[in-house]
Structure 1
Amino acid sequence: MSTEHDRAVLQAIFNPSCPLGDADPTVSPEVEVEDDDKGFEATRLTEVKALEAQGVSAAEGGDLEAALHHLNKAILLLPTRASAYNNRAQALRLQGNTAGALADLDLAVTLSNGSGLTGRQALVQRGLLLRLAQRDADARADFERAAALGSEFARHQAVALNPYAALCNRMLTEVLHQLRNPEVSHSCE
């Protein structure tokens, strides 16, 4: 039986683009991946996964043109599989094409029905891009959906973007500060 730490290490190895600490300790990565790949013909799926792996490897090596070439081929072979859009969004973002990345993430969320490993990763990525665009309400909605799918990273982001939580945190900080540093009370004489 594997521990939560073991699953987190495996998550980091098999999904290096996933934020650290984003492994769901209650769901094994194998189950999530199987859920994302249901309904696809096995031979075609194997070919597409190999193209995606080549694309991710090329992107990690800095060759974004090769990465996009491989990911575009994967999308042509299985245009209804969300994972390649999610991965291509990373390459587009690295290329500086935020609009293209957002469009691919929208497709990844739609195709995955906003569920499973790919849906969770796409929601987190889209939330980060929306946050950078100062669209905090939209970003918070994506983070909340990803948090509901088990993303600890998204949960922290959603809390940070919640105006009520921020107000409560600020008030709590002030109260604790006052308790630790009581002011000298002035009495009226």
Structure 2
Amino acid sequence: MASAHDRAVLQAIFNPTTPFGDVPALNQEEELIDDDRGFDMELLKQVRELEMRGVSAAEAGELQAALQLFSQAVHILPQRASAYNNRAQALRLLGDTAGALQDLDQAISLSGGTGRSACQALVQRGLLRRLACQNDEARADFEKAAALGSEFARQQAVLLNPYAALCNKMLSEVINNLRNPKMPDME
């Protein structure tokens, strides 16, 4: 079995535009989950059902119905991050970016910046901030989500980091020159 260093070297060779050592899922040993232990089990079951129905409604294009279901879930367990995260997605799809950002901020706050809901909310907020040309704030969100294990967020953080982009470009050029050496002109 290859060591972490071996995988990092192979990653640098085969994907020279990613930072050295940036091996997908290297630091994430288990899937992210939200800690729902502090909630009443009956209310939690009810809220999860509402969220599943909301996701199904959103997937069917019934965004207003999805929004209502997610809002019911928020009303039942206002201290649980997941429903805010889901409602933010519905709000964003309905064009309410300000409302989506408010719910994402709440999801991140309630989650304590850990778990699946925090990771998803940070990625969503990063994307909204990037669309608003708030690249420094977007990069900070992507870096936090990347630290939680999101490969997509890691890629976005690299794209928004001017130093990493410059280093990656130079490394790519060096590797390209090693693969395809330029022969001196003979006149």
TM band (smaller chain): 0.7 to 0.9
Aligned positions, number: 162
For residues 149-160 of structure 1, what are the structure 2 equivalents within 5 Å?
Answer: 149-160=148-159
Change (3 A) 1:96 1:183: farther
CA drift at 1:159: 1.3
Distance in 1 separating the partners of 2:31 and 2:176? 43
Other-structure match for 1:27 = 30
Other-structure match for 1:119 = 118
RMSD: 2.2
Distance in 1 separating the partners of 2:85 and 2:140? 18
Other-structure match for 2:182 = 182
CA drift at 1:134: 1.3
Larger relative contact order (C-alpha < 8 A, sep ≥ 6)?
Answer: 2
Other-structure match for 1:16 = none
CA drift at 1:181: 5.1
Residue type of the partner of 1:73? Answer: Q
Segments of 5+ residues of structure 2 without an aligned counterpart are 1-23
Cα deviation digits, residues 128-179 of structure 1 (max 9, x gap): 1111111111111111111111111111111121111101122223334555
Residue type of the partner of 2:123? Answer: V
Query: Percent identity over the alignment?
Result: 59
TM-score, normalised relative to structure 2: 0.78
CA drift at 1:38: 2.2
For residues 1-189 of structure 1, what are the structure 2 equivalents within 5 Å?
Answer: 26-28=29-31, 32-33=33-34, 35=35, 37-179=36-178, 180=180, 182=182, 184=184
Segments of 5+ residues of structure 1 without an aligned counterpart are 1-20
Other-structure match for 1:17 = none
Change (3 A) 1:169 1:25: closer
TM-score, normalised relative to structure 1: 0.78
Distance in 2 separating the partners of 1:112 and 1:134? 26
